[in-house]
Amino acid sequence: MFRGLIIAVLACVEIASAQIPPQGQVMRITCYTAPPTAHTYSGQLVHEGGCASNKANLGKTAYLYTIDTHELVAVLECNDIGGNYMLKNGTALDVYMPTYDACWDWVGCYGDHLFVVLKED
């Protein structure tokens, strides 16, 4: 009886650890919008799938996961920077959205903190 229970518990631990994303951190996630003709710090036009961070993260890819289930919710290109102190010190990302309503929809769906993994792809 106990042997089967231990195997089941170990199987659950393996499944749970497989869902944990690689090293990263919980970050504040905000949203911004701009006219479609606006340019990012990198020179690109603003677009969905882009985000602002600090200069050290420019060109990196940000993988955003829910904190509780580690479900991947977005893959973003760090192509902009911001003036907010949390963006400057690397503890926040600012996700571009095409409309103000889309910004509120994002926050309503995912909240304002997610687990973020930054990679140089």
The model's pTM: 0.81
**Residue 89's domain spans which residues?**
22-119
Domain annotation covers residue 16: no
CB atoms within 10 A of CB 50: 20
Domain annotation covers residue 86: yes
Query: How far, in Å, CA of 73 to CA of 13, rounded?
Result: 23
Give how many domains the chain has, as a whole number.
1
Q: What is the pLDDT of residues 72-117, one digit of tens each?
A: 999 999 999 988 999 999 999 999 999 999 999 999 999 999 999 9
What is the β-pairing status of strands 72-81 and 113-119? unpaired
**Amino acid identity, position 36:** P
Q: What is the CATH number of the domain that holds 39?
A: 2.40.40.10
Sign of the CA dihedral with 66 first, then 70, 75, and 78 last: positive
Domain annotation covers residue 5: no
Q: What is the pLDDT of residues 12-44, one digit of tens each?
A: 334 344 455 668 999 999 999 999 999 999 999
